Structure 1
Amino acid sequence: MRLFLCLKVMINLNPNEFAPYYVDYIKLVPEQDIVKGLTNQNEELIHFFTSIPVFKHEFRYEEGKWTVKDIILHLIDAERILSYRALRIARNDKTALPGFEENDYVVSARGNERDFESLLAEYKTVRKATISLFESFSKEVLQQLGLASNYSVSVRGIGYIILGHELHHKQIILERYL
């Protein structure tokens, strides 16, 4: 419970605004406006991705693990799904939203067959759409709750999950790929 209290103070989220398994992502996010965070992170991550040496793009630190290309495409897919959830909840859709199996998505996406530049272009496009979506949300809408993956989640909780998810994967790339 102490961690939730720290989170609440740090970024003003309540425990019912995200699933417990997202706490490790959310705690990576510094206190900030979601749109500002998405904008700053976009620039930072594009710079980070472009600094990764070409010979590391398809590197796996262990058999069966994702490559950097896989991770970028995973970030794109996850951001699309999370943004869609935010849209549904913001529009007061009370339908419980299902989860998704990220490993199945990565296998089906075939990221290593893609050109690195096309992945970065798609990442930029998706992030621009996410920023536009979150810019449209009022303070009241950001606090709306819905149900996703059998957990209560708020629109703003989803914004922080997107931010933290990307920071989590950047950290993994730094630790295990570079």
Structure 2
Amino acid sequence: MPDTTEYHAFYQGYIEQMKGYSIPERLSIQGFLLEELLKALKEDQLDQPMAPGKWTLNQVLGHILDTEKIMHYRILAICRDPGVALTGFDQDAYVERGRFRGVETFQSNMNGILLNRNLLRFFLDGLDEDQTLLKGTIDGHPISVRALYFIICGHMQHHLYLLERYLSD
């Protein structure tokens, strides 16, 4: 587990969700857990807001994929240029501009999540312990490669939980 010097307090909840889990294992199975959870969806559910003022299921999937791509880039950037200063991103603006609609988008995002997870796993498998401790900054706050892997998995776990609750209502 990363210690609190490896990430900003904003990410604490995501990291805590991974207590007791193996990150390589979570990277391998979370995409399939998401796919299993969403397999019974009907096409008309994809573009309906989950509640007033909330994202649609398609937007949630687009958000997950965008976030994982960004976090993956951050890992790469820190590994190649330790100490690099990176900027944050506005998740709501990304979702708004994402145009995440339709069954084709849903299938594309699911495929993208599974593919990106394989790429993340491949990259993690190639790192040694020292590389996972490398740090950069995001919006002026320190972040380690190790923390980013925990954040990616914790973020997905967060959305799996929310989707499971939403779909069981």
Deviation of 1:113 after TM superposition, in Å, equals 4.0
1:153 aligns with 2:143: yes
Tell me the number of residue pairs that the alignment of Structure 1 and Structure 2 aligns.
167
Contact (CA 8 Å) 2:2, 2:147: kept in 1 or not?
A: yes
Match of 1:120 in 2: 110
Residues 102-136 of structure 1: per-residue CA shift (max 9 Å, x gap): 00100111111452222211222222211111111
Task: State the distance in 1 between where 2:136 and 2:120 align.
Answer: 18
Question: Secondary structure at the residue paired with 1:32?
Answer: coil
Deviation of 1:46 after TM superposition, in Å, equals 2.0
- Which blocks of at least 5 consecutive residues in structure 2 are unaligned? none
Root-mean-square deviation (CA, aligned residues, Å) is: 1.7
1:34 aligns with 2:23: yes
- Aligned pair partner of 1:175 in 155, 165, 169: 165
- Aligned pair partner of 2:85 in 85, 91, 96: 96
CA gap 1:82/1:122 in 2 versus in 1, 3 angstroms: same
Task: State the distance in 2 between where 1:27 and 1:136 align.
Answer: 25
1:144 aligns with 2:134: yes
Contact (CA 8 Å) 2:47, 2:56: kept in 1 or not?
A: yes
Task: State the distance in 2 between where 1:46 and 1:149 align.
Answer: 33
CA gap 1:151/1:47 in 2 versus in 1, 3 angstroms: same
Q: Which ranges of 4 or more aligned residues in structure 1 deviate by more than 3 Å?
A: 51-55
Contact (CA 8 Å) 2:37, 2:164: kept in 1 or not?
A: no
TM (normalized to structure 1)?
0.85
Match of 2:63 in 1: 74
Match of 1:58 in 2: 47
TM (normalized to structure 2)?
0.89
| Greater mean deviation of Cα atoms: 71-80 or 24-33 | 24-33
Identical aligned residues as a percent? 25
Task: State the distance in 1 between where 2:127 and 2:79 align.
Answer: 8
- Which blocks of at least 5 consecutive residues in structure 1 are unaligned? 1-11
For 2:136, the aligned partner's letter is G
Residues 81-102 of structure 1: per-residue CA shift (max 9 Å, x gap): 0011011111234221000000
